[in-house]
A and B are shown apart, each in its own frame.
Chain A
Amino acid sequence: MIWVETIVNGILYGGLYGLLGVGLALIVGVMRVVNLSHGEFIVLSAFLGVSLVGVFPWLHPLALILPVAVIAFGLGVALQAVLINRVVTRPDPFAGILLTFGVAVVMRNLMVEIYGADLRHLQAGQLAQASTGVGALHVGVLPLLILALSVALFTALQLLLTRTRFGRIVRATADHRDVVRLMGVNPGRVYNLVMGLSLALASVAGMLLAIRASFSPYSGVERLLVSFEVVVLGGLGTFWGAMLGGIALGVAELVGLRLDPNAGPLYAHLLFLVGVLLRPNGLFRVRT
């Protein structure tokens, strides 16, 4: 029974990992830039959550997700417009990763200077302890809520990209950035919105993760690596692949922790390395 519970919890936790990664998958898919400051923005949104809880102590942290996501959207648009759009057209494929790595270094150390290096936690009160279950199986209410929210956001993103005019423009820009110019689309502006969307999704995941696990300014590295593993394991092109990749990593991590209590994320990383060795194009690749 304990193994069933571990795997169920791993799936619930992995849904959150999928949400961490889907923002990065979006960026990689649309503009072929891996944003190495993705993890730092996830941590920054958690710190914003902590700050807002300090200002509005009567509000539940879950109610603060929306304002934090709006702020993250604005930061994403600014990051793209001010910095990344300047290098995205360069033929050198490394300009983007080196630039965002520089942004990550600056952000990480700014957060250390502003918030200190201590471990933090976002308190969710009674909800964090509540649990429900079927028969002998006990599952937390909060993890269930988080998985439901992740699935809802994945569905919304999928609908946004496949069913709306905005989604069509984004997909067209991803395919032929020079051709869409002829149709009156400004690729830079599309990228701004996509980066905003990516970081808004990341901020939701960052807030939820801050409720489930403690974080410090140095957690950004860990968050980036998990997000990236989700993207690679899921395979490019499918968001549901990212969700499945996240779930695989979540299960690997929790099963690993059950076997080996001080393993940390070691088993998730090992799953990634094995996955890369066996299926370099992703475990769940459906289409190219």
Chain B
Amino acid sequence: MTAVRASAPWSIAVLGVAALVAAPWLIGEGAQRFLSEAMLMLAMAQMWNLLAGYAGLVSMGQQVFVGLGAYCLFFSSIWLKVAPFWVLPLAPLLCAVVAAIVALFMFRLREAYFAIGTWVFSEVVSLMISKTERLGGERGVGLPTARLVDPRWLEPLTFWTSAAIALASVFGTYALLRSRVGLGLMTVRDNEVAAASIGVDVWRNRFIAFVIAAAGCGIAGAVSFTAALYVAPGFAFDPNWVVAMMIIVIIGGIGTLEGPILGVIIYFALREALTVVFGLSAGWYLIGLGTVAIAAILFEPDGLWPLVRGRLGGDWLSVRREPPTSGWIAAATPAAEGVRSSPSGLGTTPSDR
């Protein structure tokens, strides 16, 4: 490993961040809006991936946190009479607290039961907000405090916030998975009984992942509806949020950090191709994507990323850990060499996927 190769990722990162900072001066408002939407969708998909791909929790009710984040931002901004961006941190905070409480009883449900249990919870929250006139009822509310932001800066600020959230979702998840919690999550995913027997606290690791994913979806939802300047229960708690997250993760590659990125690119490229170029309705676009997702589950359950990585080579954002290269293991057993050089690490390092 030479110094040049080690510094390459850093220069790419610096260039990437510089491009994101400069982008509002280089591209038009329409392009900024489109990219903001895609980056927020990436953040949500990454959160769903953290749950389904690493924590073994398939949540079909993740839209509840998208909606709660949006409602938290709208009403804290309206009641406190401050610009929406100042109260943004409240959205993930509220979602984290709600998730911590919900987890206490939803975690009694396993697998498919958990999936639909969270969905029912989302419906309950949606129905309750629809019935509360103080929260805008079924008609929803606008965001008059958006006027407190200079209109020239509204779009760039949304863009930068979205970019920051997307980057945080990818690298935050990376850091989490490299930590003790992440290692615990992956051992649980790979073999729950074995993990528990070596002292991994299954419940605690899942709890942390669920709370983080709720906060991530909450902040992404808050920014997404700030850009729309309007929120109503029908849009905020729309099951299509989780449909999009799921399709992106399945197509890109579940249980990899790069999969959702690839998935978002495919998702939005297909959307633009089908709805703009071919003029198809949103319905046909969802039919097409759903069919692709079904095909992926049947024929490429690991998604497209493993195929792409095979072509490109390299480690990318793999959270795989290498066994120690020096010391008595490598010296004493020639098999350790074989372990280290195994291309995918399959069957040797359980933390890789």
Contact = CB atoms under 8 A, between A and B. Distances in A.
Interface of A: 28, 33-34, 36, 83, 86-87, 90, 92-99, 101-103, 105-106, 109-110, 112-113, 221, 224-225, 228-229, 232, 260, 262-266, 269-270, 272-273, 276-277, 280
B283 A99 contact: no
Given A110-B283, A232-B117, A273-B117, 11 more contacts: A94-B111, A95-B297, A97-B58, A98-B58, A101-B60, A102-B294, A103-B294, A105-B293, A228-B120, A276-B105, A276-B106
Interface stretch (B151-159, B284-292, B311-319, B344-352): B284-292
A83 B42 CA distance: 29
Nearest to A264: B127
Given A98-B58, A273-B120, A263 B131 contact: yes
A197 B171 CA distance: 48
A17 B239 CA distance: 22
A113 B52 contact: no
A28 to B, nearest CB: 8
Contact of A105 (B108, B131, B290): B290
A105 B286 contact: yes
11 contacts: A94-B58, A98-B297, A102-B290, A102-B291, A105-B290, A113-B281, A266-B127, A273-B121, A276-B106, A276-B109, A276-B117
B113 interface: yes
Contacts of A113: 281, 283-284, 287
B120 A98 contact: no
B71 interface: no
Contacts of B117: 232, 273, 276
B56 to A, nearest CB: 8
Contacts of A105: 243, 247, 286-287, 289-290, 293
B283 A112 contact: yes
Interface of B: 52, 58, 60, 105-106, 108-109, 111-113, 115-117, 119-121, 123-124, 127-128, 131, 239, 243, 246-247, 250, 281, 283-284, 286-287, 289-291, 293-294, 297-298, 301
B298 A266 contact: no
Interface centre among B116, B243, B281, B289 (most CB of A within 10 A): B116
A65 to B, nearest CB: 27
A253 to B, nearest CB: 12
Contacts of B111: 93-94, 97
Nearest to A270: B124
Contact of A225 (B113, B119, B131, B281): B119
Nearest to A232: B113
Q: Is the interface of A mostly helix, strand, loop or mixed?
A: helix
Contacts of B283: 109-110, 112-113
A270 B131 CA distance: 15
B298 A273 contact: no
B286 A95 contact: no
A33 B113 CA distance: 11
Contact of A280 (B60, B108, B124): B108
Contacts of A112: 283
B98 to A, nearest CB: 14
B299 to A, nearest CB: 9
Contacts of B105: 273, 276-277
A266 B128 contact: yes
A33 B131 CA distance: 34
Nearest to A86: B298
Given A94-B111, A109-B283, A277-B105, A225 B120 contact: yes
A86 B301 CA distance: 12
Given A94-B111, A101-B60, A262-B131, A106 B287 contact: yes
A129 to B, nearest CB: 30
Nearest to A114: B283
B116 A225 contact: yes
B297 A87 contact: yes
Contact of A97 (B112, B247, B287, B293): B112
B109 A98 contact: no
A269 B123 CA distance: 8
B297 A276 contact: no
B127 A263 contact: yes
B127 A229 contact: no
B58 A276 contact: no
A88 B106 CA distance: 25
Nearest to A111: B283
B124 A269 contact: yes
Contacts of A265: 123, 127
A94 B294 CA distance: 13
Contacts of B291: 102, 106
A273 B113 contact: no
A262 B111 CA distance: 32
Given A229-B120, A273-B124, A280 B109 contact: yes
A99 B296 CA distance: 9
Contacts of A98: 58, 246, 250, 293, 297
Contacts of B109: 232, 276, 280
Contacts of A99: 294, 297-298
A263 B138 CA distance: 12
B284 A109 contact: yes
A95 B33 CA distance: 34
Nearest to B127: A266
